[in-house]
Chains A and B, each alone.
Chain A
Amino acid sequence: MLGTFRPGLEPTPLAFPDAETSQEASARFEREALPQMKSLYATACRTTRNAADAEDLVQETYYRAFRAFDGYTPGTNIRAWLFTILYRVRADAYRKARRSPQTVELRYEGPAQDAPQDALARGQEDIVRALERVPETFRTAVILRDVQDFSYEEIARITDTPVGTVMSRIHRGRTRLRLLFEPLRRTGGEAHRA
């Protein structure tokens, strides 16, 4: 479980600007941040390859975002801001897992659990399966660029990585994805199951 928020445990009250009450800030958070949940959840599913971990990741992202919302400047890029938090939560969890006895499975990225059925129902099984077999560093770069449509500069800020490294990761991720996808497409997924 990634999240620090638990039902019944109240998060730290927010320090809002004088002009905005806590209710107004919460309403603004709901209005601006919650519509991004489908994109965040899709990214979390593709990144963690596991629906339960994806839920934890999104929940923790919203928890941290809510606590830090007074530091968000209205009218700026809330989408990039939320993805930055998502990426940091994931990185923290990954570092923590590497220190735990369960390191081996994460490091070698064992078999992915089935993707949520609503994604598979749209006929995207082949690309999802191929994407989930790309190593996470490259997979994240491809997801942010080719799925979520962030610019190279935005990805560099989200992942706190130089732009040149981002471009390299995207290139390598795309190459791996294409090599994994082509056999799946030719065989209708049989190559993955073999």
Chain B
Amino acid sequence: MDREARRRNKDVWDRAIAPRLRAVRELEPPPRLRERIARMIAAGVSAQH
């Protein structure tokens, strides 16, 4: 790969891909998932007593 092609690829990555990847770093989980995990923690605590 020549120098110009590498520069072009890096430019695409830096300007178009990297910011989009950072934008999908987090995703709001559905409430039912949070509820299931909260129930698991509560059950774990009650099992201790």
Q: Which residues of A contact B (CB under 8 A)?
A: 5, 7, 9-14, 22-23, 26, 29-30, 34, 37-39, 41-42, 45-46, 51, 55, 58-59, 62-63, 66-67, 116, 118-119, 122, 124, 126-128, 131, 142, 146-149, 174, 177-178, 181-182, 185
Contact = CB atoms under 8 A, between A and B. Distances in A.
Contact of B28 (A7, A118, A147): A118
A23 B27 contact: no
B44 A124 contact: no
10 contacts: A11-B47, A38-B29, A41-B27, A66-B41, A67-B44, A119-B24, A127-B17, A146-B18, A178-B13, A181-B12
Interface in B12-46: 12-13, 16-18, 20-30, 32-34, 36-37, 39-41, 43-46
Contact of A10 (B18, B23, B46): B46
B3 interface: no
Contact of B41 (A26, A55, A126, A128): A26
Contacts, number: 112
B48 A178 contact: no
Contact of B9 (A39, A149, A178): A178
A178 to B, nearest CB: 6
Interface residues of B, number: 32
B48 to A, nearest CB: 4
Contacts of A34: 37
Interface of B: 9, 12-13, 16-18, 20-30, 32-34, 36-37, 39-41, 43-49
A127 B21 contact: yes
Given A7-B39, A59-B33, A66-B41, 19 more contacts: A7-B36, A11-B44, A26-B44, A30-B41, A38-B26, A41-B33, A55-B32, A58-B29, A116-B27, A118-B27, A118-B28, A119-B27, A127-B20, A128-B24, A146-B18, A146-B22, A147-B21, A178-B17, A181-B12
Contacts of B36: 5, 7, 59
